[in-house]
Every structure is written in C-alpha cells, then in structure tokens.
Amino acid sequence: MDVVLDLSRWLELLGSELDYDYPTTEQPMGNSHIRHSRARVLGGCSSHNTLISFRPFNEDLDLWAREFGCPSWSAHRLQPYGDRIKLNTLPVAHQQRNHVVKDWVAASSSATGAPVIDDFNAQIVHRGGFSSGVGFFNISYDPHTGQRSSASTAYLHDIMPHGPHRRNNLHLFLETWANRIVFDEQEPLHARGVAVTTRAGLSKTLTARREVILCAGAIDTPRLMLHSGLGPRAELEALGLPCRKDLPGVGENLIDHPESIWMAETRDTPPETVMSSDAGLFLRVLPSSAEPWTVMKEEIARIPDLMFHIYQVPFADNTERMGYPRPQNAICMTPNIPRSQCKGKLSLASADPAEKPLLNFRYFEDAHGYDARILVEGIKIARRIAQTSPFKEHVVREIAPGPNVQTDEEISEYARRAAHTVYHPAGTCRMGTPADDALVVVDERDLRVVGTRGLVVCDASLMPLLPTVNPMLTVLAVAERAADLLADEAYGHARELPSWSE
C-alpha cells in the first residue's frame, strides 16, 4: 500500500483506518486530548512511524542493568545486537536536506554550543556518545525511492508467501486479533496458544509448538494479559475477570516521551524533506542530581536530558484548541523529555475485550516537577535559536507560545497544556529480577512472564525505562537478542555475534 510504504505520507496514517488510535484519560496537569497512535499494520508502528533510527546510549542500557535489576541487558550485552538489525539506516541523504533545516542546524549550534553531528549513531555507538549535538537524523529508508525500511519490509517481505525467499514455516494471519491467551487444561499456568478472531470473523485457537511470544506493544500486550487473567488480582476480580496469576506489575510503569511545541510562521516551506521532521537537537540542561537514579550519577551527566525534533508542518492540533492560529507555512520545534519521571498506569475499563483500555500517563504529576522544568528550558532555548542567524531570517513571527507567555510559570502552564507525545509508550510489562521486586512482570534472564510457562514478552512493554532517544532500534535490538535466547534454549545454538569491546 503506497500510503504505508511511502515514508513522506506518515501523517496521513494518524487517525486513519490503519490506526487503533487510543485516547488518554483526564490529565489534570497536562493535556487530556492526546491520542496515542498504534499501527494496525504488519511491522507494527515501524510501518507508520517516522523511522527516526537511533541506537540507545550505553548509559541507557547500563541503567537498565544497574538501576532496574536487568544485568543481562547492559550495553555490553545488548549493543552488539544493534549491529545486526536489518533496517537500512542512514543519515538523511544530502540531496534531500532542506535548506531551512540546514539553517536551523547551524543556528542551533551557534545558539547553544552543541556541535554539529554528521552521524548520530556512529557517535553514540563508536565514538563515546555525546551530551549535546545537533544534526540531520539517521532514518531507516531507501533514499532513492523514499520507501520505508521497516520491521515488515526488512524482516518479512522477502520470506512471505509471495517473496523471493518464501519460508514454508512462516504463516501470517493478517487482520487477525488475539483476544486471549489459552492455557493448558492440566497445567493452568502453561500457555499453549492464543484465541483469535480472523479477518472473516471466525473464532480460532492457534496452538504453539513451543511457546507463545507476546509482541502486541506496550498497550496491547498488557491488555491481552489482563484479559487472560494475568494481572493485579483485586482489579481483575472487581471487573468480574477470574485471576489466573496475580501479577501486580501488569499495566504499571506506563512511560512515554512527552513533548511540547514552539511554533513560528515562516516565509515559505521548501519541498525537499524526507518526512517533515528530518533533524534534531540534544542538550544537557539540568544537573544530573535532578534525576533520581541511585547509581551512575557521573555517567548520566554525560548524556542529554533534553531533545528537540523540528517539524516543517504546522503541528497545530493542540495549539489551535488553545486558540492559536494555524499558519500555512510553519516550523515547529518540539522539545521532549528523554527520561521522563512520570509513571502512569494502564488498566481495563471493563471485562469486554473490545473496549479500549484506560491510559493514565500521569503527565507532569512527578513529585519534583522535573518534567515541566525540562520543557520550560526547551521553550526558552527554542526562542534563542529562533533569534539566531541564519535561521532567524526564515521566521516571520512566533505563533506559540506567543509574546504574552514570558515567565517560567506562564511557559510551564502553556507547555503542559500544549503537550503532546512522541508516541513512545513503553514499560507496562517491565522486566527485572522477580526475586527482588514484586512489580516485575518479565524475568530479565529469559523474557518469560513471571510464574508462567511457555509465555514470553518481546516488545516495548518490557523496557524498565525508555532510552534517551527514539526507541524503535532498541526494541529491534531486544528482539534480536530474544531470538538468540530462544534459539539457544530450543536448539542449543545462538548465532555468532559481531565483536564488541567494552
């Protein structure tokens, strides 16, 4: 389908029939109108996202290992799997670099002192990372056709029934919805398959030869588990759902990358762009003591705590609701919080599996106001960049927050009400060491759901903390390692790894 494969058309997919489109609950400190897009497409959200492709910082993964009880997911263990990811990832091709964005990169560097980085991933993985930097993104796409390089095109297209390397052991059930996990009749915690509804509306049970691997994402994996009786006992029973295994952590730790928006009217919109958000900026703005980690204070000080995307479209849905105009030509800087301190909760609204779950992100409800502080810094820095050549020559006027919003309190109020999401929900089936932590859902040693047999989770729901960067490549690296763990256990051999020095 062109609209899916053509990366530049990603915005058309938001809210379309290919989007499950989840609302959030009332957000007293933030914006209650945020909708979370989730792809109804093979390849998941990599088939409708912007394919900005960052490897995680080593520090992100070492925090998983040392702060969150996941020793086998440290940088040393996981980064080599990033080298194996099949997506075609490269910095935005030079012929597609839009001159307004080039000027923005130059102005951002002058205004903030952040160095221009040519290849973010090379810098992160092979050159020791960075605490600040600005440049064109690494994106997974074909620069000649503009087509996506997604989990679907890179891993599945070739081996699908009509692909050149068709695999007889791959069976795809498209447009088939998993309603519930099916367990063994004799062994009530041994997963044997899933009960599904097919495209034709038929109910079927798909039986697993070895194990059931849940990879429905951070919203639908916990939803499926809760409807299967795996979750907090009292909550399930209050809805009339029998509890098979009391797992109080299912649906907890709902995390995200919240963002806000600075928007200006610009003189024109140059056409050349890969997907309207081709560059970004990273900065460190607060001391690392503002973050709550008990370990790695010095290491964390070396990575950014503020990220910006730049959008060359009027990203105006939230600002328009607040009364701001929607200019025809616009540029938006969207500061976001790489390590948000808010932890929300996903729960079921009812026992009806068709009803969407409740997503309470608790945006900006963190005890010390860390998240709001990061966004206030972000809006102030956006203003500085907008007054710096050569970018300032493109700006006609600031639209939002606008000249009436000046004090930190006013900026905070605006930034929270206009807040949006970078669409990175995660964490709702957190992995860790079960013996040390009652809220762990997935055992970090083998990705099995605690207390069950034959049931594995492999998607963004298992992340204890989001990486500082956009998370897709981290999800894929986790999946690459999970494949090895499972193959090793089942057949006694994992694939050879690329070498990786500590």
Ligand X SMILES: Cc1cc2nc3c(=O)[nH]c(=O)nc-3n(C[C@H](O)[C@H](O)[C@H](O)COP(=O)(O)OP(=O)(O)OC[C@H]3O[C@@H](n4cnc5c(N)ncnc54)[C@H](O)[C@@H]3O)c2cc1C
Q: Is 216 in the site for ligand X (CB under 6 A)?
A: yes
Which residues ranging from 217 to 246 are in contact with ligand X (CB under 6 A)?
217-218, 220, 224
Q: Is 423 in the site for ligand X (CB under 6 A)?
A: yes
Of 6, 16, 177, 208, which lies in the binding site for ligand X, with binding defined by CB under 6 A?
A: 177
Under a CB-based contact definition with an 8 Å cutoff, are residues 399 and 315 in contact? no
Q: Which residues of 456-479 are buried (b: 16+ CB within 10 A; e: fewer)?
A: bbbbbbbbbbbbbbbbbbbbbbbb
Q: Which entry of 36, 227, 309, 424 is annotated as an active-site residue?
A: 424
Q: Is 314 in the site for ligand X (CB under 6 A)?
A: no
In three-state secondary structure terms, 324 is coil
Q: Is 424 in the site for ligand X (CB under 6 A)?
A: yes
Question: What proportions of the chain, in percent to the nearest 5, are helix, strand and coil?
Answer: 30, 20, 50
41 belongs to an annotated ligand binding site: yes
Of 44, 56, 231, 454, which lies in the binding site for ligand X, with binding defined by CB under 6 A?
A: 44
Residue of this chain nearest to ligand X (CB atom) = 44
Indicate the Cα dihedral angle 438, 478, 354, 258, nearest 10°: 80
Q: How far is the CB of 346 from ligand X (least distance, A)?
A: 13
Q: Is 141 in the site for ligand X (CB under 6 A)?
A: no
Q: Is 45 in the site for ligand X (CB under 6 A)?
A: yes
Q: Is 154 in the site for ligand X (CB under 6 A)?
A: no
> What character string, x for contact with ligand X (CB under 6 A) and - otherwise, covers 382-421?
----------------------------------------
Q: Is 443 in the site for ligand X (CB under 6 A)?
A: no
The Cα-based distances of 177 to 15, 161, 202, 297, 454 in angstroms read 19, 20, 10, 44, 20
**Complete DSSP assignment for 200-225:** TS-EEEEEPSS-EEE-SHHHHHHHHH
CB atoms within 10 A of CB 16: 15
Indicate the residue among 100 and 226 with the shorter CB distance to ligand X: 226
CB atoms within 10 A of CB 391: 25
- Tokens representing residue 166 in the block: 């068709």
Of 24, 27, 31, 50, which lies in the binding site for ligand X, with binding defined by CB under 6 A?
A: 50
- Which of 273, 342, 267, 360 is closest to 309 using CA atoms? 273
Q: Number of residues in contact with ligand X, rule: CB under 6 A?
A: 28
Respond yes or no: is residue 424 known to be catalytic: yes
Place of tokens 């809220």: 439
Indicate the residue among 45 and 477 with the shorter CB distance to ligand X: 45
Distance CA 75, CA 63 (A): 9
Under a CB-based contact definition with an 8 Å cutoff, are residues 193 and 206 in contact? yes
Of 22, 38, 183, 363, which lies in the binding site for ligand X, with binding defined by CB under 6 A?
A: 38
Which residues ranging from 469 to 488 are in contact with ligand X (CB under 6 A)?
470-472, 475
Q: Indicate which residues carry an active-site annotation.
A: 424
Q: Which residues are annotated as a binding site?
A: 41
| Binding residues for ligand X (CB under 6 A) | 37-41, 44-46, 49-52, 177-178, 215-218, 220, 224, 423-424, 459-460, 470-472, 475
Q: Which residues are annotated as a binding site for FAD?
A: 41
